[in-house]
Structure formats: structure tokens, C-alpha cells
Amino acid sequence: MNINKINNWFKNFTNEKKIHNFKNVLDLTIVIFSFQRPECIIKSAAYWNNKPVKILFIDGSEKILNRNSRDIIKKLKNVFYFHLPNKSIPQRINFGINKSKTKYTMCQGDDDFYLFSGLIEAVKKLKKKKNIIACMGQSLGLDFINKKPYIFEYGKNLINYSVKDNNFYRRLNLAFTNYLPAAFYAVFKTKDLKNLWVNIRTLSCQELYEYEHAFRTYLAGSLITTKKKYWVRSFQYKPKSGKIDGDRRLTFLKWIKSEKLKIERDSLVRRLSTIVQGKGSFNNQDSKNLIYKTFNLIINNKNSLYKNNSFIFRCLIILKKILEMFFFSKYLNKFKKTSYGINVIEKINYLNRKKLNALKHFSKTEINDIDKLLKFLKDCPI
């Protein structure tokens, strides 16, 4: 879509006088890190406009967001934009967290969404439980078919999930034995989140940012979840990242086994070992043993937020892998990029997923938030 048309919609949408009945003003900042997806920044800024939270966009794109979009964002009371080209994901997140002046802070991907009622519940839990470092709500999946949004089940194994123990060794073992990516999208007390990210460095493997963040989280304290839905994980766009962010195709297992990356691996182990020894009960060798034990738990983890029970879909995935092993892969990639290929993939995903057409198990506030999000997405031209 033409950028001028998008900006006209953005300007008109944010100029509309909306009546919000927010009884809770959250002392919360959401740090949204983005790369080469200006459409996601505009869409997300429109969604969060005038809500009682502070939004910080940290954009690592090569080019700054177009002037008209930036001028519109400048007029929004709760949304702020920062352009940090040639800065990695941890550098951008660290920058955003240190800009936060609220009591609570969290991170968000540029194409994801949070439900406000779920955020209220998470902040309430953190206020009540002084010994808890982070709190996360339940998850939903979001995708599109024929340009229409739909919600589906995602992250059912987060229900009643928690990592609670007064002993950090047992916490780490509990967290990584059946690892789930709960910490990265949780609400944190800002002072704790700043401490966690203070020395997370750029690495070759992108998976490591999540794992290192989780390790530092559970070393510092416990995490709990609420029963409320709050994270809406979007599958609309393919992930984008710069070379400085590391390689998305480099898995944790390949990173562990790579001789070329031994210096980087040893450096990470030393940094984490120093933090573990700061707890007072572990010497240098014990702390390294704990870190390598955690690495092994990550390698052997079979858990996933998205449990797929469709036999047909599993067969299609196996068929796709077989095709990619032979010369058919280049034809498959070409097909996936055609309008017909995109349509076929959309339909396969739609048929495979368990749609949440009936929201009978949700509260009225959750249903209201979901309906508002779906309406916003239907009306949004992006």
C-alpha cells in the first residue's frame, strides 16, 4: 500500500476522539524493538495510541521512519520513537529499558500485541507478591486468511505455569528442564529488568538472547503466570533482522558444537559464571558446571508453546523437509512466494489451527479486548 495512504489513515485514526473507560492507569513501559518493518511501527503506534501505558519504539532499521509518520507519532502523548541504526537487538532493548521511568517495564515484538486487561492482572500480581521478579499472562495466536484476522489457541502449556523456588539452583533446574519462553514477554519490575540486561552482549546465535535473558531472570528470582490472556503472538509477517543481530539460522545446538565460536562461547560462560558466583555459594568451577548443565537442558528440551496435534499438518511438514533435501527446494521456495502459494499456505495454517470462535471460557473484559483488537485489525489498511 502507498505510504501516503497509510499515513492518511494513521493521522485520521489517531485524530479521532475515542472514549476510553480505563479505570487503571498502569505504571508500565513497553519497549518495542523493530527492524525494517515501518508498517509494524505505524500499526502498533495506532493500536497503543491514547492507552494508559508508555510505548517506546526502538528501531534498528537502516533508514529512519518516514517524516510524516514520525510527525504523527510526536503528537501522541504516550508513544515515542527512537532510531538506532547498526545497533543489535540487546543494544536496542537495553537502550529502551534504560529510558523507562515507570515502575514496571516489558518487551514486545513489533508485530505482536498485548491485551490491556491481561496487563492489568500481571501488574497487580507483581504488586502483591514482593518476592516475584516477573509475571506473564496467557497467550493467543494471531494470523490472517484472505486479509481477515483470526485468533487461535497458542501456548496452552503456560496455564498454571510458574518457576517458583527460594533456591536459585532449583529455580534454574525447574525452568530449563521443561523450558518455555515465558520470561522474555513477561512484565518486570523496572529496576530488576535493567539489572538483567546490563551486560547482555551481541552474539552469533539469536536464540541465545532469549536463553541468556531467561537464565539471568531465574537466577535473580521467581516467575509466575496469571489466568488472563495478554500476549497475542502474530504470525502475519516473517521475522526480519540485521547481520549485527546474529544468524537466525544458527541453532543453539550448532552454536554449542562450533569450534569457530569457542571464544564467544567461553566469553558468555565467563560472564554468566561471574553472576552465579555473585550469589555467594558457588566457586568458579561449580558455576561453570551449572551453566553447562543448563546448556544441556536447553539442547534436550522438547517443549513448545505451539503444540500441533494435526496428523495431516505433521505429514505436510515431513513432506516439505523431504522436498527441501533435493532439488525441488528451489521450486518450492518460488511457489511459496507466488500469490497462489501464499493463499495455499494461509489455508493450510487456518485448517490446522484450533480457532477460538467461541470465547465462552474467557471473561467479559478479555472478550471485549479481543473484539477490539480484531476490529482494529479489520479496519487497519496495513
In a domain, 103, yes or no: yes
88 shares its domain with 192: yes
For 267-327, give the secondary structure using H, E and C.
HHHHHHHHHHHCCCCCCHHHHHHHHHHHHHHHHHCCCCCCCCCCHHHHHHHHHHHHHHCCC
DSSP line for 193-244: HHHHHTT----SBTHHHHHHHHHHHHHH-EEEEEEEEEEEEE-SS-----GG
pLDDT in tens, 222-275: 999 999 999 999 999 888 777 888 888 899 999 999 999 999 999 999 999 999
85 shares its domain with 223: yes
46 shares its domain with 80: yes
337 shares its domain with 364: no
Report d(CA 137, CA 146) in Å as an integer. Answer: 29
84 shares its domain with 231: yes
Domain with residue 62: its CATH number is: 3.90.550.10
Per-residue pLDDT band at 304 (split at 50, 70, 90): low
Per-residue pLDDT band at 80 (split at 50, 70, 90): very high
Q: What is the distance in angstroms between the CA of the first residue and the CA of the last residue of the chain?
A: 7
77 shares its domain with 166: yes
Q: Report the phi/psi class of residue 246: left, alpha or beta, with left for phi > 0 and alpha for psi in -120 to 50.
A: left
Q: Identify the pLDDT of residue 378.
A: 95
118 shares its domain with 147: yes
177 shares its domain with 84: yes
In a domain, 165, yes or no: yes
In a domain, 276, yes or no: no
pLDDT in tens, 28-43: 999 999 999 999 999 9
In a domain, 258, yes or no: no
Q: Identify the pLDDT of residue 47.
A: 97
219 shares its domain with 348: no
In a domain, 4, yes or no: no
In a domain, 204, yes or no: yes
- Could you give the number of structural domains in the chain? 2
In a domain, 30, yes or no: yes
Cell of 212: 541468556
345 shares its domain with 227: no
Name the least confident of 14-28, 104-118, 230-244, 356-370: 14-28
Report d(CA 3, CA 9) in Å as an integer. Answer: 10
122 shares its domain with 231: yes
Report d(CA 224, CA 136) in Å as an integer. Answer: 6
Report d(CA 30, CA 187) in Å as an integer. Answer: 9
Average pLDDT over the chain reads 89
pTM more than 0.95: no
What range does the domain containing 316 cover? 311-352
pLDDT in tens, 344-364: 778 877 877 777 655 667 888
In a domain, 366, yes or no: yes
Q: Identify the pLDDT of residue 318.
A: 63
Per-residue pLDDT band at 281 (split at 50, 70, 90): confident
104 shares its domain with 198: yes
